[in-house]
Every structure is written in structure tokens, then in C-alpha cells.
Structure 1
Amino acid sequence: MADPRSVRDRLERLIRPHAGLPEALQRSKPLKLRGHSVAWLPPLLLLVGIVLLDASTSGRFRIMSWLVLVPVIAAAICGVRGTVSFGVLALITYVVVDTQWPHKYRNGLSDLLLVVVGGTLAALACSVRLRAERRMLHMRDIAETTRRTVLRPMPPGWGGLDHAAVYLAADSEARVGGDFYDIQPSRHGTRLLLGDVQGKGLAAVEAAAALLGTFREAGYHEPELGTVAARLEVRLLRHNRYRVALGGDDGDRFATGVLVAFPEDTPTTVEVVNFGHEPPLVIAPDGVRSLDPGHGLPLGMAELVSAPPPVLRVALAPGETLLLVTDGVTEARDASGAFYPLRDAVTRALARDPRAADPHRLVRLVRDGTLDHCGGKLADDTTIFAVRRPVAGVRRT
């Protein structure tokens, strides 16, 4: 079993980009104590330590040239001004202390030049570090903007549904991948889409963005869920042809997904179209069941069959929650290679506390269980999405 502390640290790194303004988009903060910067303290302590050690040893053992390390340390944790200040302070200290020794024990001009050159290079290195830091902040800001554009934030109760979602990027620095999800209210009821584009990188993000854009339009305007599904299929085929025209080699890209509709006129049923995705689980206070997989092919493969994927009508009682996940959950492995037992884990949690069927509790349960099972090392992007119709008299927890 993985160390709980390391799993928790990994979890914080993974989910931080998805909770408000991420700390990663802010400049790395200097060392602080009670709200005040103490970045100056390590190089100052080093300078004092070198001076005291040099003074406490015999003249045959001189370490004043080690003062070159003071601006080097400052360059790693201070600004340019602080680094220059410590470079000047180290130089002055060297001159003052070295002149206190008899001539035969002085380090001389060569070590003095070493301190001067070291301080100058440290200031330049600090400038390069800060420039790279600003560039990284800009790139992360772009990545965060891209993520929020593709996976737009959804307010509580969006579309008249209780919902909760967690997206964990396998690469915590990338912040966005091929997983996608959204809820689209419409005059025909509320629709939701969750899926996973085959492959990784920006090409997968582009395909996910194309599918979400089509879903947000078709899901709003089209009265029939089957028509929305057909529009998604056509959109991915068009996107693939466009990529080929640009010279790309990913013209056969596909995406698995689940399309769900909550019709307003039938509050105890939902409509589901499954595009070769892991079938959703229905979580009720008294147990867990899987929906019919529907046997549809992934999006982008409709040309291989003559019939579109079926639209399934499924009973969903008040209080029952749909749990949809991508393969980052179902294919998470532990040290022995065993897959994460999602259904068993949820069933055990319900047996302990029936309130685990609440979407927010359910998402936290699956998130924590997945990361604990794989030791915090996700092999793929992971999306956990739970949704249900509001239950009268039940407060969200």
C-alpha cells in the first residue's frame, strides 16, 4: 500500500489546477515566516558561518573564498537585487576579513577575483531564472485558459441537476488532456456528455474541443438524442479529415463517450447513447448496478457499421445517481497490476453509509480510492462525474 502522505501530496498537486485560481499560476513565493519574507536568511547565515569558521581556524586553513557560495545561494531563492546585494556584501566581507590576517596567510587577489566573478555570474543566473519563471507562468496561464475553455466550469445546479466532477491530469503540469465532459440545458431537457479521445497531446485536446462545441450546440437545439449523437459522429469525422488535410497522421482518431438525456416529461427515466465507453453505474442507497453498454462503436467509427448506436431508455428513480468515469479509473493498477475495483469499492462504501450516493461524496470517494489504489501515479487522464436529479428535502453535502 502506498504511503498515505505521498498519495495526499500527489492528490493536492493533481486537483489544485481545478479549484479556483491555481497556485501554480502564481509566481513561486519566497521563503516566509509569519507573512514576512526570509529568503535573505539562508545566504546571510552562510556568510556568517564562513566568517566564524575562518576566524576560528588557524591561518593555514582559510575558507574565505567560500564566500562565492553566498550570492550563488541567493540567486536560487532571492531576486536580482537581493543577489547583487549579497554579492557586494560577500566582496566587502572578504576584503575586510582577509586584511586582518598576516600577509603570509592572506588568500590574495586570485580568490578576490573568484568572489567578484562568482557574484557577477550569480546575478546573471538569477536574472535568467526569473525570466524562465515568468515564461513558465505565462505558459501555465495559457494551459489553464485552455482547460477552462474546453472544460468550462459549471455552476451548482446547472441544468437542474445535482452534479460533481473531478478531472485529474496524468501529467499534472499539462492540466488538460483528451478527457471531456459537459452539461447542456435545453428546451428538450438537460443533456450531458462524457468521453475520452484516443491518444494524448494537443491533437487530443483539439478533438475534445470540437466534440464539446458540437454537443453544446446540438444538445441545445436538437429535440432527439439520436440526432445529437449523429451530429457528434459527423463532427469527429470532419475533424479527422481536416487534420489529414493539414498533413496530420491522426485521421483515424476516435473517441469513446456516453451521451445522457434527462427528459423533463419523464422524471423517472433517462436516455443513454453509449459510444463504446465503460457503461455508467447507477448508485442507489440500496446498491449498485451497471447500465446496458448499448454495444455502440466509438465516435469516428460509424463507417464500419450500417446502424447508429441505439438510444436506450433507462429507469432512474429519484435519489439514484449516475456515475460516469473514464479509463483512468477503471484501468488504474496497484503495485501487483490489479485494476481498481470500482463497483466493489462503491458498494462497500454504500453499505457503510448510504449517503455515499450523493454526487459530491461519491466523486470524493472514487477520487481518493483511485489515487490510493495506484499510489498516486495515474497512467492516464482521469475524469469522475456524478449526476442525479435533485432529491426533494435533501441538502447537498
Structure 2
Amino acid sequence: MRQGSRGHDRYSRAGRGDAVHRYELLRVRGRGVAWVPPLLLLVVIAVADYHTGGEFRIISWIVLVPGIAAAICGVWGTAVFAALAIGTFSAVDSAWPREFQTGLPDFILVTVGGVLATLACAVRVRGERRALYMRDVADTVRRTVLRPLPPLWGGLEHAGVYLSPEVGARVGGDFYDIQPGPYGTRVLVGDVQGKGLGAVETASVLLGTFREAGCHEPRLTTVAERLEERMLSHRDYTRALGRAEVDRFATAVLLGFPAASSDTVETVVFGHEPPLVVGPGSVRSLPVTGALPLGLRELDPAPVRVHRLPLAADETLLVVTDGVTEARDAHGAFYRLAEEVARAVTRDPGLAEPGRLVAFVREGTLRHSGGRLTDDTTAFAVRRIRAPGGERPEGGRSRI
């Protein structure tokens, strides 16, 4: 999870020691106890064999011990249990010379079983270590796109949360950023169609353009046009490379907080769900007519329209991607975000604060979907901050 400006710089690295600890699936109070089940099984089999008589011997079942260890322990732990199984078998089977003995065939079975279990554990550990590495690569890629944002950046209080889907290990194209400049502060939240590194690359391209144009262009219309042009040029680039993703597009919400006005917001919606305006006493959707997604401008070449709307000082803009709006419960019903937020704000007006708001959306989405996310899920909340005495920070810049 990413929330606000915290949590961006704390990522676990899949080092060898770290990975080994993760292989210990059973932990109590932070200590690995994966060795307990195979040890108990070994003792139970040895004791049970002691109480069996005649030709009914179960000591050969001890071959199960390294098999269980291979599933939940590390390689060395499995090798130790394989050796213990062989030693225990030899000791117990020959303890009573006058009784029936399973003999050499079962000894070979236990020995070969221990060796195979150790090899299987090595394969499992190697696969898990590779999975950890690929997960950390995906985290690094996402962290590159969703750069850490300073607190109270650009005169705005903000909070964001990003959740990866549980299916597969492919990263998606959700993105958000804040760019302050001499003409105010601009915010971009969007979702690139598709998944994989291609989607992340497209998101990175759009963010690079936004950071440049959002800082230097005086009109939000020009920023929107620059984004559209960059999307089309990137598609030409991928077409020249012969990629199959040439028809990729992106939905987005572009917000502008003018430096000359502290009670208005400028909005351009590119095929995205309009932002929700969450205040201490009400929740409403911004009444904006959206343009087509970025990359589909040729279907409607009309000029981009910027909506300039009033926004109270205590109102927060909430933008989510389709991972939230299309989250389904066990019966296939969609998550009703606006209704849920409205009820929660009625009970607790303080929920309009950006950090609490995105935390509520995160928990609500996970609860509604039962934790089974099928798409990248992003929620981003932002509102103006006030300098002491109610004055707006000069030039829209942040107070840090």
C-alpha cells in the first residue's frame, strides 16, 4: 500500500537472508516454527512403532518426515530431517533383533525419500526466491512511476493508495502525480489500458510530459493537449518497433489549482470517472463532461474543454481508478463508492481529510471484493492547505 507521502521509501529487498526467513511459513511471535510439524511427526511415528508388535511395523512411514519438511522448511532444515529420518529408522528397526524387521528395502525407501525431498525443497526455494526477486522488480518499477511526493506539496494536502491485483505478478498502468509551478499546482491521476511493462512505460511517458508541461504551461488546456500529443507520438514509436500494443490508450483526470484563485478548481476528464467532491457534510460528483481517453483524439477532434468549478477550502477531491469502481462482491455487485463515502462522511465529517479518505476507500474496496482484486486499484485524494491566518501559500507552492 502507498498512502500519502509515507511508505514510499520503505521497500523490502529480496536478499538471500530475507528470502530464507520468508520460506518459514509458520511463525509464532516472530520466530520460525516450521521445524515443529516434521519433528512431531517423526516422534509420533517412532513412538507408535514402539507400541506395535508382530509383523505390523509403521517405522517405514518415517519417509513422510522429510517430505513434510520439504514443503515448509528450508533446504538445510529438510536435509537435517532427512538424516534424522534415516537415523531414527535404523535405530528403531534394529532395536529389537528378535522382532520382525522391515530390513533393507524400507531403509532404501527412507534414504531415497530423504534425498528426493531435499532436492524438491531446493527447487521450491529457488522458485520462491525468483518470485521474490520478480516481485521486488515490480515494486521498483512501480516506485519509479509513482514517485514519492513531499508532504503538503504544491500547496496541497494529499494522500494516495495503490494496491496490486492478487492475480499474476504483472504490474499495471495506474499513475498519479502533483506538479507545482508559477501558474498554480496541477494534479494528474490516470490509468493506462492493459498491463505489463508496456503499460508502465506509457504511464511513465505521460508523467514525464505532465511534469514538464504542468510546470511551465500557463493554461491547463495546453497541458491537456501536450498529453494527447505525447500519447499519440508514443503510439507511433511503439508501432515503429512493431509492438502489438499500438492501440493502447489512457483514461485520466487532470486538475488545476490556479495560483490566482483559492476557491476554484480546473478540471479536464479524459474518459475517466469524474472526481468526487467530499466535504464534511456532503459528497457530490463534479459536473464535468469528459473528453475521450488520451490516444483516441482522432475519434473526436473537438478542442479540449476545461471546466472551472467552485471548490470550498474544506472539500477534498477524490479520484479513483476502475479497480475501485469495478470491484465486485461474491454476488457480482459493484462497489458503490459514492454511497459508501456519503454514509461514512455523515457519521464522521472528519473523514473528508485526504489520508483518512483514501484509507476508507482502500478498506472498503478490499472488504467488498473479499480481498480478491482483479485490477490495479488506486485512490488519490487532494485538497488545498491553508497557511496560518487562512492565507493561501504564495504562488501555490508547498509549505514544507
TM-score by length of 1: 0.88
* Corresponding position: 1:358 with 2:328: no
- What residue is the counterpart of 1:20 in the other structure? 10
Instruction: Return closer, same or farther for 1:122/1:235 CA change in 2, 3 Å cut-off.
Output: same
CA distance in structure 2 between the aligned counterparts of 1:56 and 1:359, rounded to whole angstroms: 66
Partner SS, residue 178 of structure 1 = strand
* Corresponding position: 1:199 with 2:199: no
* Corresponding position: 1:80 with 2:70: no
Letter in 1 for 2:348: D
CA deviation profile, 1:72-129 (whole Å, cap 9, x unmatched): 2222233322222222222121111111234561101100111111111122122222
Instruction: Structure 2: give runs of 5+ residues left out of the alignment.
Output: 390-400
Partner SS, residue 111 of structure 1 = helix
Moved more, 77-86 or 311-320: 77-86
- What residue is the counterpart of 1:341 in the other structure? 336
Offset of 1:391 from its aligned partner?
A: 4.2
Offset of 1:148 from its aligned partner?
A: 0.2
- What residue is the counterpart of 2:394 in the other structure? none
Whether the 8 Å CA contact 1:18–1:167 is kept in 2: the answer is no
Whether the 8 Å CA contact 1:333–1:339 is kept in 2: the answer is yes
Question: What CA RMSD, in Å, does the superposition of the two structures yield over aligned residues?
Answer: 2.5
Offset of 1:23 from its aligned partner?
A: 8.9
Whether the 8 Å CA contact 2:225–2:304 is kept in 1: the answer is no
Offset of 1:18 from its aligned partner?
A: 6.9
Whether the 8 Å CA contact 1:274–1:309 is kept in 2: the answer is no
CA deviation profile, 1:187-239 (whole Å, cap 9, x unmatched): 22211101111223332222212111211222222222112111111111111
Whether the 8 Å CA contact 2:316–2:352 is kept in 1: the answer is yes
Letter in 1 for 2:263: T
Q: Name the count of aligned residue pairs.
A: 380
Q: Of residues 261, 265, 268 in structure 2, which corresponds to 1:266?
A: 261
Instruction: Return closer, same or farther for 1:175/1:314 CA change in 2, 3 Å cut-off.
Output: farther
CA deviation profile, 1:14-34 (whole Å, cap 9, x unmatched): xxx978325988421524445
1:62-101 correspondence runs (5 A): 62-101=57-96
- What residue is the counterpart of 2:51 in the other structure? 56
Whether the 8 Å CA contact 1:327–1:382 is kept in 2: the answer is yes
Instruction: Return closer, same or farther for 1:34/1:102 CA change in 2, 3 Å cut-off.
Output: same
CA distance in structure 2 between the aligned counterparts of 1:90 and 1:306, rounded to whole angstroms: 75
Instruction: Return closer, same or farther for 1:53/1:176 CA change in 2, 3 Å cut-off.
Output: same
CA distance in structure 1 between the aligned counterparts of 2:47 and 2:247, rounded to whole angstroms: 69
CA distance in structure 2 between the aligned counterparts of 1:336 and 1:34, rounded to whole angstroms: 37
CA distance in structure 1 between the aligned counterparts of 2:339 and 2:43, rounded to whole angstroms: 61
Whether the 8 Å CA contact 1:68–1:118 is kept in 2: the answer is yes
Moved more, 124-133 or 167-176: 167-176
Letter in 1 for 2:134: M
Whether the 8 Å CA contact 2:14–2:133 is kept in 1: the answer is no
Letter in 2 for 1:240: R
1:313-324 correspondence runs (5 A): 313-324=308-319
Q: Of residues 220, 225, 230 in structure 2, which corresponds to 1:230?
A: 225
Whether the 8 Å CA contact 2:23–2:74 is kept in 1: the answer is no
Whether the 8 Å CA contact 1:70–1:87 is kept in 2: the answer is yes
Instruction: Return closer, same or farther for 1:24/1:335 CA change in 2, 3 Å cut-off.
Output: farther
- What residue is the counterpart of 2:377 in the other structure? 382
Offset of 1:330 from its aligned partner?
A: 2.1
- What residue is the counterpart of 1:371 in the other structure? 366
Letter in 2 for 1:20: R
CA deviation profile, 1:5-46 (whole Å, cap 9, x unmatched): xxxxxx99xxxx978325988421524445544333222211
- What residue is the counterpart of 1:287 in the other structure? 282
Whether the 8 Å CA contact 2:193–2:248 is kept in 1: the answer is yes
CA distance in structure 1 between the aligned counterparts of 2:318 and 2:181, rounded to whole angstroms: 22
Instruction: Return closer, same or farther for 1:19/1:66 CA change in 2, 3 Å cut-off.
Output: farther
CA distance in structure 1 between the aligned counterparts of 2:358 and 2:105, rounded to whole angstroms: 64
Q: Of residues 289, 294, 301 in structure 1, which corresponds to 2:296?
A: 301
